[in-house]
Structure 1
Amino acid sequence: MNIQDFRKRQQTLSLDGVINEPLNVAYTDVGEGEPLLLLHGIPTWSFLFHDVIDTLSQHYRVIAPDMIGYGYSDRRDQFDRSIEFQADFVERFLEHLDVDSAHFVAHDIGGGVALILADRKPELVRSMVLSNSVAYDSWPVDEMLALGHPRNAKMKPEEMTEKLVESFQFGLSRPERLTEEFKEGIVTPYQERDGIVSLVRNAASLNTNHTTPLTSRLGQMQQPTLLLWGEDDKWQPISTAEQLVKDMPNAELHPMKNCSHWVPQDNPEEFASATLEFLQKIPVAV
C-alpha cells in the first residue's frame, strides 16, 4: 500500500486527558474481532506496518496509531517524548476507543512501551509480539543519539531523507525491500519542518532509564509473549531476545533469518504469519 492510500484510511481524533490540552492523533482502525494494537518505533510511524495490516485485519480489529510526535499525530513542542509518556498516551488512547484489553504487536521503542504497560496495567495487555524491541540497556543506539542533537532540528528535508534512507539500508537484510514505496512512505512526514523538528525531539528523548527498572519485574509479566526477531540486527541483537526468553515466564523466540531491524518490511509475509500463528493459540477473551 502506498502512502496516499495509507493516509486516506487513517482517521484522526482529538484526545484529552494526557496533557492539559487535547492531542491530535492519527491512526488506522480496520477489521473486526479482538483488538490488536500495532506500535511502531523510531524513526518510523505506523506506515512501517503497511504491508501487514490487511493480513492481520482479516482476523483481528487492527489499531495502528502514530505515536505522539511521530508520523501525522501531534508534533508540537508541548509534551514529553519519552516512552513513559507514550505509554500514558497509549493507555488513554485505548480507553478513548473503549478497548479494555488488546494484543500488542510492537517494534523497537514500541516494544518498550508495551513492556511498560504490561508491568503497569497487565489487564490491558493480553499478549505481546515484540519485534526487535528495546529492553534492558540495549538502547538508544548511536545513530539516534546523534540525531537527537538540537542542531539537527535545522536540517533541510533532503538531509533528513538521506539520513533516514541510510538507516533503512543498514537495517534491512533484503535490498529489494528498500522499495521506493517504502522510502517515500516512511520519510514523507519528516519532510515537513515541524516533522523534522519533532523527529529530532523524539530522538533526544530516548532514555534507557525507562526500561532498566523493568528488568527485575520481567519475571512477573505473565502475558504470552512472542519475540519475533530479525537475526541480522546490529542495533537490537538477537541476544536481547534470548535474554528476554530467560527472564519472562511465558516468552518464546521466533528468529527470522535474512532479516535485520525493520522486520515488518524485510519479510512482511513471515511477520504476519508468525504473529497470527502465535495469537491464534491464545484463548479468545470472554
Structure 2
Amino acid sequence: MNRRRFLALSTGALAAGALAGGLSLAAAAAPAANGPLDAAGFRAARRFVRTRYGRIAYVERGRGAAALFLHGFPLNSFQWRGAIERLAPHRRCVAPDFMGLGHTEVADGQSVAPDAQVGMLLALMDKLSIDRADVIASDSGGAVAQLLLARHPERVRSLLLANCDTEIECPPAAMLPVIALSREGKFVDQWLAPWQADKRLARSPDGIGGMCYLDPGNPTDEAIDNYFLPLLASAQSKARVHAYAVALDHNVLEGVGEALKRSTAPTRVVWGMGDTIFSPAGAEHLQRSFGRFQGLRQLEGSKLFWPEERPDVVAEEALRLWATV
C-alpha cells in the first residue's frame, strides 16, 4: 500500500473513530492541515476543465469519495471555502462555478438555465471521474441539486440542503425584482456595481449583507471582490448574469415531487430561520419531499447565506449525514 492510499484510509478511519468515540462532529471537522482557503489560496487552487458547456472553473481539495458543493446567486464557489477546509480531510471536495457566475467560461450560445446547469455538472463529474457525489447546496444551487437528484439519482450519494428554492416557492417573491431588472439588462449595473464600488453599502441593511447575512461585517471586502468583479468584467459577463436570473422566472422545480419522493439518497435540511428571501414554509415542504429524509435543523436568526458564515455547521451536518450512507 502506498503512502497516499494509507493516509487516505487513515483519515477515514480516524473520522469514523472520532464519531463512534463520542467526539463532537464540529471537532472532527477541524480545518485541513494544508492551510486556509483565503482569496489567494482559493485563486491558486482554481482549475478549469473543458466541456461542451465551456471551460468550467472549480476548486478541489481532499481525496476519497467526492463531495460536490453548489453555490447560490450571485455568488460563486468561494462561498464554500470554510466548509471545504473542514471537510477536505473526509472527502474529495469539488466546488464548481455555475455557468453565468464566477469564473466559468461559458461556450457561445450556451444556455445557463437550471436544466443546462445539471448537464454541466454531469459533464464535470464525468471529466473528473466522479460516479457519485455527496451534494451540498444552497439557494439556486439547491434547485439545481434537486433537479440532479430527481433526474439522475444514481449520481447523488446524499444531499444536504441549506435555504433554497422548493417546488412551492420557486422563484421566491424577493427574486422577482432581480428577474425584472435582469430582463431589462439593468440588474448588474444598478445593484452589483454600486455594492462593488461601496462595500459599506453592500454590507448595509439595503445591500446584500443586510438581505442575506446575519453578521453586519459580512460579506467581507475580499468576498465582495471575489463575487462581483468577475460579473462586472464585461458586457458579456453581465449579460450572462442576467440570463441566469431570467431563467429563474418560472418554477423550474414544478413536477419534481414524485421523483424526489422515490429517492433513496439520505437527505437533510439546515434552514436559517432569519431568511428574508425563502420562507420557513420551504423548509416544512422539504421535510415531506424526500424518500429518505434525515431531519431538519433550524438556525435561529441566520439568513440565506448562513453556510458562508457558519462553515462549522456545514461540516458538522455533512459528517452527520454521511454517517448514514
- TM-score, shorter chain, exceeding 0.5: yes
Q: What are the within-5 Å matches in structure 2 for residues 137-152 of structure 1? A: 137-140=168-171, 141-152=175-186
- The higher radius of gyration belongs to 2
Q: Does structure 2 conserve the Cα–Cα contact (< 8 Å) formed by 1:230 and 1:255?
A: yes
**Higher alpha-carbon deviation: 160-169 or 116-125:** 160-169
Read off the aligned partner of 2:260 and give its amino acid letter: L
1:279 aligns with 2:315: no
Q: Does structure 2 conserve the Cα–Cα contact (< 8 Å) formed by 1:138 and 1:208?
A: no
1:51 is displaced (CA, Å) by 1.7
> What is the CA deviation profile of residues 30-59 of structure 1, one whole-angstrom value per residue up to 9, with x for unaligned ones?
101110000112111111112211111111
1:160 is displaced (CA, Å) by 6.0
SS at match of 1:278: helix
1:186 aligns with 2:235: no
> What is the CA deviation profile of residues 17-38 of structure 1, one whole-angstrom value per residue up to 9, with x for unaligned ones?
x5xxxx1111011101110000
**CA root-mean-square deviation:** 2.1
1:244 is displaced (CA, Å) by 1.2
For 1:255, the equivalent position in structure 2 comes to 298
1:158 aligns with 2:158: no
Read off the aligned partner of 2:76 and give its amino acid letter: W
2:164, 2:150 → 1: CA distance?
16
Structure 1: which 5+ residue stretches go unaligned?
none
* Identical positions, percent: 24
For 2:277, the equivalent position in structure 1 comes to 235
For 1:39, the equivalent position in structure 2 comes to 70
1:14 aligns with 2:50: yes
Read off the aligned partner of 1:11 and give its amino acid letter: R
SS at match of 2:94: strand
2:181, 2:74 → 1: CA distance?
10
1:89 aligns with 2:114: no
2:188, 2:154 → 1: CA distance?
42
SS at match of 1:118: helix
2:49, 2:202 → 1: CA distance?
28
Read off the aligned partner of 1:152 and give its amino acid letter: K
1:144 is displaced (CA, Å) by 2.7
Structure 2: which 5+ residue stretches go unaligned?
1-36
1:147, 1:51 → 2: CA distance?
32
> What is the CA deviation profile of residues 112-148 of structure 1, one whole-angstrom value per residue up to 9, with x for unaligned ones?
1111121111110111001112111413222432342
1:98 aligns with 2:129: yes
For 2:218, the equivalent position in structure 1 comes to 177
1:196 is displaced (CA, Å) by 2.3
For 2:16, the equivalent position in structure 1 comes to none
Shift in alpha-carbon separation, 1:137–1:55, aligned structure 2, 3 A: same
Shift in alpha-carbon separation, 1:67–1:122, aligned structure 2, 3 A: same
SS at match of 2:185: helix
SS at match of 1:127: strand
TM-score (norm 2): 0.79
Shift in alpha-carbon separation, 1:240–1:153, aligned structure 2, 3 A: closer
1:260, 1:160 → 2: CA distance?
19
For 2:167, the equivalent position in structure 1 comes to 136
1:153 is displaced (CA, Å) by 6.9
Q: Does structure 2 conserve the Cα–Cα contact (< 8 Å) formed by 1:37 and 1:102?
A: yes
1:169 is displaced (CA, Å) by 2.3
